[in-house]
C-alpha cells in the first residue's frame, strides 16, 4: 500500500515537472513578475536574452535589478498577471498571446535545452519557421512548371 502511494506520488511529480508549454512559461513569468520575484522572472528567459539584456544594462549604467524590475512590469498589467490566451508553435519557436486589459500582447519563445524560454527578438525566427511549415500553394508555382 505504501509502495503504491509512493509510486503514484513519484509519477505525479514527474508529470508536473514535464509540463513546460510556452503558455505555461509565460504565465509563470507573469505571475512571478506580479509577485516581485525577479529571480524567477529571469529564469524564464533564454540564456542569450539574459546575457544581451544584462550587457545592455551595464553599458547604460543600469543595475541588473532595476532592469529586471522594468522588464517585469512588461509582463504584468496594473500589477496583475497577464491573461494568457493562445499559443502557436512552429518547431523550436512559439508565439504566445496575452491580454493586458483590452490590449493584446505577443511574446515569443524558443526551445532551449529542451525547455521553452522567452527570447527577445525571436519573432522574426518564429515567422520564418511558420512560413517554412506552411504548405506550398500551386498558385505560387513557376509558370514553366504548369506547362
Task: Give me the tens of pLDDT residue by residue for the chain, a chain 147 residues long.
Answer: 554 544 444 444 444 444 589 999 999 999 999 999 999 999 999 999 999 999 999 999 999 999 999 999 999 999 999 999 999 999 999 999 999 999 999 999 999 999 999 999 999 999 999 999 888 755 554 544 444
Q: Three-state DSSP class for 59?
A: helix
Whole-model pTM over 0.85? no
* CA–CA dist 90, 18 (Å, integer): 19
Work out whether strand 93-100 and strand 83-90 pair parallel, antiparallel, or are unpaired: antiparallel
Q: Where are the beta strands (DSSP E) in the chain?
A: 76-77, 80-81, 83-90, 93-100, 103-112, 115-118
* CA–CA dist 109, 122 (Å, integer): 7
Amino acid at each position: 500500500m505504501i509502495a503504491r502511494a509512493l509510486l503514484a506520488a513519484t509519477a505525479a511529480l514527474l508529470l508536473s515537472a514535464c509540463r513546460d508549454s510556452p503558455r505555461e512559461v509565460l504565465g509563470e513569468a507573469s505571475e512571478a513578475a506580479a509577485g516581485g520575484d525577479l529571480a524567477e522572472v529571469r529564469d524564464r528567459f533564454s540564456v542569450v536574452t539574459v546575457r544581451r539584456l544584462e550587457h545592455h544594462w551595464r553599458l547604460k549604467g543600469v543595475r541588473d535589478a532595476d532592469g529586471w524590475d522594468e522588464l517585469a512590469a512588461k509582463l504584468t498589467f496594473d500589477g496583475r498577471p497577464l491573461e494568457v490566451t493562445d499559443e502557436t508553435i512552429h518547431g523550436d519557436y512559439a508565439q504566445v498571446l496575452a491580454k493586458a486589459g483590452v490590449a493584446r500582447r505577443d511574446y515569443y519563445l524558443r526551445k532551449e535545452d529542451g525547455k521553452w524560454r522567452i527570447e527577445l527578438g525571436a519573432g522574426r525566427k518564429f515567422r520564418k519557421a511558420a512560413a517554412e511549415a506552411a504548405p506550398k500553394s500551386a498558385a505560387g508555382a513557376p509558370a514553366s512548371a504548369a506547362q
